[in-house]
């Protein structure tokens, strides 16, 4: 994971923590620091950036991992819809922290409702810090993962700040991953 990789093609990435879009040219040297939730956090000479799974080939990453995720999704398709939604949310990661948003305690509410004949998922979530430029990106990841489920017509992910997040909200599993227990 901490070996230099030269990008095999130009890639559009998101700067961390600002959330600004940047283009990484072919041949840019990067180091993958995290590969979770189908995205890749890379260290470049200009700082950290997030690269989408759709650009994994530029990193030389084998798409076999994506195939494994599809198999897992296939097994989950018969589970109750609420379980499927929570599983999708557990596949969303803050690019700087190796714990999913559910185990970080960032998801405050998740409701599935029938509205005018459509199945709508409404999520209220927060961030570890209010000024995080990655907030809209993380929320969009959550929305996209929920929308990928069969039977979901709309997903609404709202960033909220009350109550303020604190480390006590991290699950036991999350604390174990972070070495806090």
- For position 65, what pLDDT does the model report? 63
Fold match between 4-59 and 77-177? no
- For position 10, what pLDDT does the model report? 97
- For position 61, what pLDDT does the model report? 85
Distance between the two ends of the chain, CA-based, in angstroms? Answer: 25
Structural domain spans, the chain: 4-59, 77-177
28: nearest Cα among 64, 65, 53, 55: 55
Q: Where does 77-177 sit in CATH, by number?
A: 3.30.300.130
Query: What are the tens digits of pLDDT across the range 128-166?
Result: 998 888 999 999 999 999 998 989 999 999 999 999 999
Helix (H, G, I), strand (E, B) or coil at 36: strand
Rounded distance between C-alpha atoms, residue 168 and residue 178, angstroms: 13
- Sign of the alpha-carbon dihedral angle for 142, 100, 91, 50: positive
Question: In this structure, what DSSP letter does residue 97 have?
Answer: S
Helix (H) or strand (E) holding 71: helix 64-76
Rounded distance between C-alpha atoms, residue 123 and residue 144, angstroms: 12
Rounded distance between C-alpha atoms, residue 50 and residue 121, angstroms: 26
- For position 1, what pLDDT does the model report? 47
> Do the beta carbons of residue 111 and residue 121 sit within 8 Å?
yes
Helix (H, G, I), strand (E, B) or coil at 64: helix
Query: What are the tens digits of pLDDT across the range 40-75?
Result: 999 999 999 999 988 999 998 876 665 676 676 677
CATH entry, 4-59, from 3.40.50.620, 3.40.1410.10, 3.90.1150.10, 2.30.30.40: 2.30.30.40
The encoded tokens of residue 43 equal 């260290």
Query: What are the tens digits of pLDDT across the range 69-123?
Result: 667 667 777 889 999 999 999 999 988 899 999 999 999 999 999 999 999 999 9
Task: Find the length of the chain.
Answer: 181
pTM of the model: 0.72
Q: In what order do the strands lie in the sheet with 11-16?
A: 4-6, 29-36, 39-44, 47-52, 11-16, 21-24
- For position 59, what pLDDT does the model report? 93
């Amino acid at each position: 994971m901490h070996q230099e990789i030269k990008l095999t093609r130009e890639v559009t990435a998101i700067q961390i923590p600002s959330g600004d879009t940047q283009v990484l040219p072919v041949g840019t040297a990067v180091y993958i620091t995290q590969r979770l939730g189908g995205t890749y956090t890379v260290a470049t000479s200009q700082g950290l950036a997030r690269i989408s799974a759709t650009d994994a080939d530029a990193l030389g990453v084998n798409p076999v991992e994506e195939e494994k995720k599809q198999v897992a999704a296939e097994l989950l398709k018969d589970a109750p819809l609420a379980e499927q939604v929570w599983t999708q949310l557990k596949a969303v990661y803050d690019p700087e922290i190796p714990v999913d948003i559910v185990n970080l305690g960032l998801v405050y509410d998740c409701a599935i409702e029938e509205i005018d004949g459509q199945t709508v998922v409404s999520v209220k979530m927060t961030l570890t810090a209010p000024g995080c430029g990655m907030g809209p990106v993380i929320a969009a990841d959550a929305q996209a993962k929920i929308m990928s489920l069969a039977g979901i017509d709309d997903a609404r992910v709202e960033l909220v700040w009350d109550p303020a997040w604190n480390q006590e909200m991290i699950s036991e599993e999350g604390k174990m991953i972070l070495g806090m227990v």
